Amino acid sequence: MGDAIDAVDWSAIPGHPEWYEPARAALGLRALADATNLVQAAAAGSLLGGGGILHGHSAAVFPAAAVAAPLLLDIAQKGHPAARDVALGLIDEALSSYPHDEYRRVTTSYSTAVPICCAIAQQVRPRSALLISMGRRGKTLIDSAAEHWLFEIAECAADSQDTAAFGTLAGRLPSGKHAAELHAGGTVSLLEEVVLEYPPVDGSADACLRLRGRHPAELPPGAVLLPAECGDRVH
């Protein structure tokens, strides 16, 4: 675990210069991975929540939180029970905190400008079986991540003045009309009205969304939709 933490150049990750303290990120993660009791886990959590990946007193989250999320999930899986609770709590807090305007997006495998909360949620989802086994805290984190849904377009078809987009949905897109960010070809644009036409069934992730006022040519396969409200979250 220490090697994975040390492999990250925390000082190279951007963050508000008056709030983000890269040394706290590295020290806090190492301390949390090595914690063997509640006092040690709490001290490590204070480092991480006091400028390492969050600034808890002001509910601010830094891009480092998206990098730290898989490491925290590993600590939750392999570490002391006290360290597990702190790790899960930090991830959940990061999902609900607010980034500073100029540091609110991170690069992922599917876009270069993903809101921090959505990037974290997408790393939580593959660990759902593990998190369920951890009881209430794990299930709470799954529910928090589900609010930051992601839809990947597989194909589209014109439907009157709208487009029916078929693809896979991760997370929970509520019924009704929603604004969404379209991430395609290295750009981000706004879709003012997205409606879940056919939700996933029988454990499948397949779904269909209706995109108002858009032509299929604007929606290439592999493009990703994310909640617009997540992109608007700023401290």
Residues 191-206 have pLDDT tens digits of 999 999 999 998 899 9
Q: Torsion angle, CA of 163/166/170/175, rounded to 10 degrees? A: 50
Do the beta carbons of residue 124 and residue 131 sit within 8 Å? yes
Q: Indicate yes or no: pTM above 0.85.
A: yes
pLDDT of residue 233: 85
Backbone phi, then psi, for 112, in 5-degree steps?
A: -95, 0
Burial (CB < 10 A; 0-12, 13-18, 19+), residue 18, is exposed
Do the beta carbons of residue 159 and residue 210 sit within 8 Å? yes
Question: How many other C-beta atoms can be found within 10 angstroms of the C-beta atom of residue 64?
Answer: 29
Q: Which two tokens stand for residue 109?
A: 């495998």
Mean pLDDT across the chain, nearest whole number? 95
List the end-to-end C-alpha distance of the chain, in Å, as a whole number: 32
d(CA 234, CA 179) in angstroms, rounded, equals 17
d(CA 138, CA 81) in angstroms, rounded, equals 12
d(CA 184, CA 162) in angstroms, rounded, equals 18
Share of the chain above pLDDT 70, in %: 100
Q: Is the pLDDT of residue 185 over 90?
A: no
Q: Is the pLDDT of residue 156 over 80?
A: yes
DSSP state of 7: T
Cα angle: 197, vertex 198, 201; to 5 degrees: 160
Q: Which two tokens stand for residue 183?
A: 């991430």
- Which pLDDT tens digit goes with each residue over 30-65? 999 999 999 999 999 999 999 999 998 889 999 999
Share of the chain above pLDDT 90, in %: 89
